[in-house]
Structure 1
């Protein structure tokens, strides 16, 4: 479980669409407070999803080869195949069109008018829900009778939110330096967004497929 959550958490943390949007949120007027609200809503989604899974399982992992265990692995397999298909589809489109740059000018203008409440509502919309669902399917195997499971879930939430937390803290304590560096980060992501999306989708998808097949056949 820990390895799966580590890979999924990393994929969520570097997901380019949410990172780019958060940079724009921080760049808006009152960005520090809007970023804080964004992060709180982002974390709340993880807590709600994990709580729903643990309430369903009672905090006890299903027996190997049982219907719940098989269903969990099957869900991760389906998500993995979906991510691979999505990554390959984006790669083929980029090869055909040669469109390697995405403009966020319209998004920037809209985020300049962002309120705190809208920032909170934006966080769930920008989460990569396919990866979040894969994390939820992995948590089915959590044994909450051990402290290690609590630490693993806490680390998963922290890792998945790490890129946002780092940018928020950096902007709070070094706003001038952060403005320059986050501007460069935004430019890099915008010019490499398609490549990054393809890479994240394919790596996470192949990992989930291989792990799920191993669990289903072992």
Structure 2
């Protein structure tokens, strides 16, 4: 089980560093119903990652590992495809980076967060985790790694839980600050929001490249064995 956890740690860290979802939960916390909207967003985020990972475990099943407990060829092909996808996204992000980080603009839908009802806040958290162009491939790759580890189903579930917990640290950190820092939270979260908004494109481009190359390497290694 330990080697399976090691395989997904980097992927989980890549999911955790998600500037736009971090900005989104900070905006949700700033609404009049912040004590409700913040936890709902975080819950949606966790549910999205857990559901996508569980689907991947179900798809992989016992076919994820060969008789010698080596990853099956389809796992290598999947990681190769996901890695190529992330590298291409990284190139696209890098080309569209602003010359001046202060000119970075947030998506227009973020302006409507303060008007969203609680259920839509929950849905937003789910979408930003499970349907995100970076997080979805990384979660799918993590599920494939877990299913290819040759460990029993209960241990697979345990590794997935570790992945989800680490991958959720980025959105849980603002929630923790909001709940435990009182009045000081507004200033701290405001600084976090401004930094994440201004550096979103560059951070995402670097993450796409690094994690994409990692998945490409993993895929090539599996297919070459």
Q: TM-score band (shorter)?
A: 0.7 to 0.9
1:203 corresponds to which residue? 210
Match of 1:11 among 9, 14, 17: 14
Q: CA deviation at 1:170?
A: 1.8
Report the Cα distance in structure 1 between the residues aligned to 2:67 and 2:10, rounded to whole angstroms: 22
- Which segments of 5 or more consecutive residues in structure 2 lack a partner in the other structure? 130-134
Residues 96-111 of structure 1 mapped to structure 2, 5 A cutoff: 98=99, 100=101, 101-104=103-106, 106-111=108-113
Structure 2 residue 39 is the aligned partner of structure 1 residue 39: no
1:118 corresponds to which residue? 120
- Relative distance call for 1:75 and 1:64 in structure 2 (3 A) is farther
Q: How many residues align?
A: 215
2:146 corresponds to which residue? 139
- Relative distance call for 1:150 and 1:108 in structure 2 (3 A) is closer
Match of 1:156 among 153, 163, 166: 163
Report the Cα distance in structure 2 between the residues aligned to 1:135 and 1:122, rounded to whole angstroms: 22
Report the Cα distance in structure 2 between the residues aligned to 1:133 and 1:55, rounded to whole angstroms: 12
Task: After superposing the two structures, state which structure 1 stretch, 101-110 or 16-25, moved more.
Answer: 101-110
Structure 1 runs of 4+ aligned residues shifted over 6 Å read none
Q: CA deviation at 1:48?
A: 2.0
Report the Cα distance in structure 2 between the residues aligned to 1:134 and 1:19, rounded to whole angstroms: 22
Report the Cα distance in structure 2 between the residues aligned to 1:209 and 1:3, rounded to whole angstroms: 17
Report the Cα distance in structure 2 between the residues aligned to 1:123 and 1:43, rounded to whole angstroms: 8
SS in 2 for 1:175: coil
- Which segments of 5 or more consecutive residues in structure 1 lack a partner in the other structure? none
Structure 2 residue 179 is the aligned partner of structure 1 residue 166: no
RMSD over aligned CA atoms reads: 2.5
TM-score (norm 1): 0.87
SS in 1 for 2:220: helix
Contact 1:62 1:141 in 2 (8 A): yes
Report the Cα distance in structure 2 between the residues aligned to 1:193 and 1:85, rounded to whole angstroms: 17
Structure 2 residue 188 is the aligned partner of structure 1 residue 181: yes
1:28 corresponds to which residue? 31
Contact 1:171 1:179 in 2 (8 A): yes
Q: CA deviation at 1:28?
A: 1.7
Task: After superposing the two structures, state which structure 1 stretch, 198-207 or 21-30, moved more.
Answer: 21-30
SS in 1 for 2:183: helix
1:2 corresponds to which residue? 5
SS in 2 for 1:139: helix
Contact 2:8 2:142 in 1 (8 A): yes
Structure 2 residue 83 is the aligned partner of structure 1 residue 80: yes
